[in-house]
Structure 1
């Protein structure tokens, strides 16, 4: 059993090393969560507050939270590839994680992302689905930007938790609705929240925790 701690480890992506932080819960974990960070070309890293808020909620649910740095961030190899290579890297990470931690892979699995991370997550989900691979039990998108940086199909399950700020000035609420309307995807709108959920992170955490409790 692991104590409550953050471990730094690596996986191998298409461009080389993927630098990852793994947050372990205090008690025996019941599964894992992959939490993807915002645009690395604009300073996004795995330490982003929205990312760590979602990760903490997952850890409190008993999940191991995996927070990779995308290409060119931290010790991750390569450079920003506008979503192409990043999606390839995350597919490789999922495959390697499941082989390295088969007990965790057999438990609950959550796929989460913020902003650019939702672009990668949506393409990753579509790739797993098309390949007949095991799919996450829950998908969480915050500040969803799945219509951007697309290099293949995007997808999400009907019961995904999509949380967006009413006053998001990076990805407008209308842009999210353009994706959500045709597929009847519900969107949870946080009043007066901006893209980074400043002053609203507690609300985001509570929304995530509530959904996680249903698993």
Structure 2
């Protein structure tokens, strides 16, 4: 059932869902970049993150925020999109009720939404934030950040300068009980053009370390 439509706060939301083979497998939710700047669930980084989780046995959902693709509603400057993400996680948990945990991954605007969602959902045990827009949106809600995760950024990012990402990471690293892995990719820009493979290698290696698995444990996954 790769193509799914589920109810969101502003109408139907369009998504792609990869079910897990094991009943108690974890869930992953992948969130796309800014809707008003061409962000969709078919963004290459979003798609590759989705595939990365599926390979590792997760039940994975990516979806279009309100007003994108076949998703109903209109852009709501983050507040509505956070509600969409909460509804998406609710839907995935309904389909996969025995999931033992949850991960959230987001790219740019999606990273901002994802980090807000993990503040509200204690079942989220890890996150991957790709190029979080720390200069464009307020991240002060991360007080304290409840989960350990990876923040990854290109040092040639002209949209979100590295110093802004570093300020966010430095603030999070002062908190006890969580570990923030901050990785800086040399030469990569905000969109990771020509650097997606390296980005996925880093994200996948981080996830493998957290899960305690090796490539021998990966599952064959068809594209969807």
Give the TM-score normalised by structure 2: 0.82
| SS of corresponding position for 2:77 | coil
User: Once the 2 structures are TM-superposed, how far is the Cα of residue 150 of structure 1 from its aligned partner?
Assistant: 4.3
CA contact (8 A) 1:123 1:150 kept: no
2: CA distance, partners of 1:146 / 1:100: 33
Match of 1:3 in 2: none
Is 1:182 paired with 2:177? no
User: Once the 2 structures are TM-superposed, how far is the Cα of residue 28 of structure 1 from its aligned partner?
Assistant: 4.2
| SS of corresponding position for 1:137 | strand
CA contact (8 A) 1:61 1:209 kept: no
Match of 2:192 among 192, 197, 200: 197
| SS of corresponding position for 1:138 | strand
2: CA distance, partners of 1:108 / 1:199: 33
Q: Which runs of 5+ in 1 are unaligned?
A: 1-5
Is 1:160 paired with 2:149? yes
| Shift >3 Å, 4+ stretches | 146-152, 154-158
CA contact (8 A) 1:147 1:179 kept: no
Taking a change above 3 Å as real, the CA distance of residues 84 and 149 of structure 1, as seen in their structure-2 partners, is farther
Aligned CA RMSD, in angstroms, stands at 2.1
| SS of corresponding position for 1:210 | helix
Match of 2:129 among 116, 119, 141: 141
Match of 2:40 in 1: 45
2: CA distance, partners of 1:52 / 1:145: 20
2: CA distance, partners of 1:31 / 1:45: 24
User: Once the 2 structures are TM-superposed, how far is the Cα of residue 183 of structure 1 from its aligned partner?
Assistant: 2.1
Is 1:16 paired with 2:5? no
Q: Map 1:73-84; keep pairs closer than 5 Å.
A: 73-84=68-79
Taking a change above 3 Å as real, the CA distance of residues 196 and 38 of structure 1, as seen in their structure-2 partners, is same
